[in-house]
Chains A and B, each alone.
Chain A
Amino acid sequence: MKKTDTIIIGAGPVGLFAVHQLGIKGLKSIVIDNLDKAGGQCIELYPDKPIYDIPAVPECTGEELTNKLLEQIKPFKTEFFLNERVEEVKQDKENWIVKTNNNNEFSAPNIIVAGGVGSFEPRKLTAKEAEKFEDKFLFYAVKDKEQFKNKNISIFGGGDSALDWALELSKFSKINLIHRRDEFRGAPHTLSEIKKLEKEGKIFIKTPCQLESIEGKDKIDTITIKFDSGKTEQIKTDVVLSFFGLIMKLGPIAEWGLNMNKKTIEVNSKNFETNKKGIFAAGDICSYPGKLKLILSGFHEVALAAVECFKRARPNEKYRFEFTTSSKTIQSRLGKK
């Protein structure tokens, strides 16, 4: 079990800034996130979209904001546990024990939940047979492309992931690319490559249509797709790949005994503590009278929560409010002379 001063759940902008606010007070933290990289919604939903309301930053993209925040917290050498989802939170006297789906365990007097709208998970196909074949013959991501050699592959989706994998896997497999409308959304170069391969008979494009059913007993034999015209077609298929983006699921957070309001965690607006002492919530996931779901609000929330975290992690020390411009202690923590 790893011990730290604060466990931060969520590596979005608010979680990252929490590292900073704790760090300048001399508190250690670790960060856990279900995605494979830091940035949260900024990186997953709108990496290229400009944001115009970060104070003193007239314009930056989600990706730029994330990179700047990572740079800002570099001096604290914080350990990140990515691709991991927190499953369990339990109390152990003054501390909280957090367990992840990767069997990592952490202990700390404080937890800051900066989990946005929950953890990102692939949006799944709804055909009722889909679950039965999942992870064996039906996948929402490609981890090892070797397993898709010399197969009949049916790919669903019209965005970059669907197009890129159609292109890549067509090198050694027969591809059906299935989309609900005639237009695809991808890089122009990718689109022209796809069209070329369609002419060569390596990729079969089926539009506008959607999945109707999957047939097969122990493995997938065929799938049936239904066109907008009402016509259906059965396609010989060994493997189904589906790329309909990610969806946010609150997941286990709802089971930690925190007071919830719809999908948000209720906090006080003094230090953003929940109904459980030592568990704080900040950013989109918290609610209090007047809450605004803005990144800048999350920054304010973690700044105040960090003060309470200090008091709990250092009960024998007095908290002193300091400015980064004048405090020698903070400056040395930031690696400045």
Chain B
Amino acid sequence: MPKITYNDNQGNSKTIEVENGLSVMEGAIQNDIPGIDADCGGSMACATCHVYVEEKWLNKLPKVEEAEVDMIDMAYEPKKNSRLSCQLIVSEELDGLIVTTPSKQS
């Protein structure tokens, strides 16, 4: 199973195995990773699963849709490498992905 690393802004880090087909958000919620709220449950309506993706992974991720960028506008301190983790579906290609959660989600 692909390994995903979740860093928080305090420097804590957790690497977990996430099943193929789940989103990076679901991997976090199922494993009690703090820092990802996912209030809307993955319907791209709340921007509380916002993460920063390590730069080198940006091109390997599914393309950002307009609706996601609009939602990221609402997120807490968005940056160039911001994504909504509910839109990142885990696959073997993402094995080793590192994401960092913002200092808060709202």
Contacts and interface: CB of A to CB of B under 8 A. Distances in A.
A41 B74 CA distance: 16
Contact of A159 (B41, B70, B106): B70
Interface residues of A, number: 24
A interface, over-half SS: loop
B73 A180 contact: yes
A46 B73 contact: no
Contacts of B80: 228
Contact of B106 (A46, A123, A158, A183): A123
A248 B77 contact: no
A45 B46 contact: yes
A46 B46 contact: no
Given A123-B106, A228-B80, A248-B39, A45 B74 contact: no
Contact of A41 (B45, B66, B70, B76): B45
B70 A293 contact: no
A183 B77 CA distance: 17
A298 interface: no
Nearest to A45: B45
Contacts of B69: 181, 183
A179 to B, nearest CB: 8
Interface string A231-266: 000000000000011011100000000000001000
Contact of A247 (B70, B73, B106): B106
B93 to A, nearest CB: 27
A185 interface: yes
A284 interface: yes
A117 B106 contact: no
Interface string B37-75: 101110101111000000000000000001001100110
A126 B77 contact: yes
Contact of A117 (B39, B47, B70): B39
Interface in B12-32: none
B41 A293 contact: yes
B78 interface: yes
Contacts, number: 49
A284 to B, nearest CB: 7
A159 to B, nearest CB: 7
A260 to B, nearest CB: 15
B64 to A, nearest CB: 12
Contacts of B77: 126, 210
B25 to A, nearest CB: 13
A107 B22 CA distance: 45
Contact of B73 (A41, A159, A249): A159
A123 B66 CA distance: 21
B76 A248 contact: no
Contact of A284 (B41, B70, B78): B41
A244 B74 contact: yes
A29 to B, nearest CB: 26
Interface string A140-176: 0000000000000000011100000000000000000
Interface of B: 37, 39-41, 43, 45-48, 66, 69-70, 73-74, 76-78, 80, 106
Interface of A: 41, 45-46, 117, 123, 126, 157-159, 179-181, 183, 185, 210, 228, 244-245, 247-249, 263, 284, 293
Task: Please give me the 6 A-B residue pairs with the lowest Cβ-Cβ distance, nearest first.
Answer: A45-B45, A245-B74, A247-B106, A117-B39, A244-B74, A248-B39
Given A126-B77, A185-B70, A245-B47, 9 more contacts: A45-B43, A117-B40, A159-B70, A210-B77, A247-B48, A247-B106, A248-B39, A263-B37, A263-B39
23 contacts: A41-B45, A45-B43, A45-B46, A117-B40, A123-B76, A126-B76, A126-B77, A157-B73, A158-B70, A179-B73, A180-B78, A185-B73, A244-B73, A245-B47, A245-B74, A247-B39, A247-B48, A248-B39, A248-B40, A249-B106, A263-B37, A284-B41, A293-B41
